Chain A
Amino acid sequence: DSGVTQTPKHLITATGQRVTLRCSPRSGDLSVYWYQQSLDQGLQFLIQYYNGEERAKGNILERFSAQQFPDLHSELNLSSLELGDSALYFCASTSGGAGELFFGEGSRLTVL
């Protein structure tokens, strides 16, 4: 158990809909990362937050947004969903410094 909690684990929805993925980082970790992994693909970096502030942005679509709340949990909002958005979305947290990323189990999104 990495200590990072992601909900929901599985989500099936239709094109055009909006979903919210939630992540609770490890206790004490201030930094949260979001990654997208499509089937048999690598991890695409979406966005990183540190103590509530956006710190780095990757290939995140304009239809996607995220935020980190004062209690340090983070949410990734995906709107106007398309078939191609079907993927495994990972959240990871770290304490910074030389620390590695600790990953949640991912949220598997299926868009029909």
Chain B
Amino acid sequence: AQTVTQSQPEMSVQEAETVTLSCTYDTSESDYYLFWYKQPPSRQMILVIRQEAYKQQNATENRFSVNFQKAAKSFSLKISDSQLGDAAMYFCAYRSAMEGYQKVTFGTGTKLQVIP
């Protein structure tokens, strides 16, 4: 079974600085998808960024980028120029690409505090 591990329960960053959130996963599959979701205090789940395992290029969405290391099974999220609105819980998620099996597994989350 796939597992997703986020080893940092809480992180803090100064406004305008850069922070990296860690995520590792365990799988025997070669094709899969990885996601980072943000959950602000409103509790709404918002997709931040997505990575397809077959793509070597790291995904980027504005101030958010990932460092995807397939061999190491690592998928970290870098937030540049942190803003107060980035304060939230961040969840890493894994989804199999296997046809007919689409369970999505989430990590336990990292609570990010942004200090003004």
Q: Which residues of A contact B (CB under 8 A)?
A: 31, 33, 35, 37, 41-43, 45, 48, 50, 55-56, 58, 88, 90, 92, 94, 96, 98, 100-103, 105-106
Inter-chain contact count A-B, CB under 8 Å? 53
A42-B108, A43-B91, A90-B45 known; A48 and B35 CB under 8 Å?
Answer: no
Q: How far is the CA of A106 from the CA of B44 in the complex (A)?
A: 8
Chain A residues whose CB sits within 8 angstroms of the CB of B8 once the complex forms: none
Alpha-carbon separation in the docked complex, A4 to B52 (Å): 24
Instruction: Give chain B interface residues in 57-116, CB to chain A under 8 Å.
Output: 91, 93, 97, 100-109
B contacts, CB < 8 Å to A? 33, 35, 43-45, 47, 50, 52, 91, 93, 97, 100-109
Q: Are A98 and B33 in touch, CB under 8 angstroms?
A: yes
A-B contact pairs, 24 of them (CB 8 A): A31-B102, A33-B104, A37-B43, A42-B91, A42-B106, A43-B91, A45-B103, A45-B104, A45-B106, A48-B103, A50-B102, A56-B101, A56-B102, A56-B103, A88-B43, A90-B45, A92-B104, A94-B102, A98-B50, A98-B97, A100-B47, A102-B47, A105-B44, A106-B44
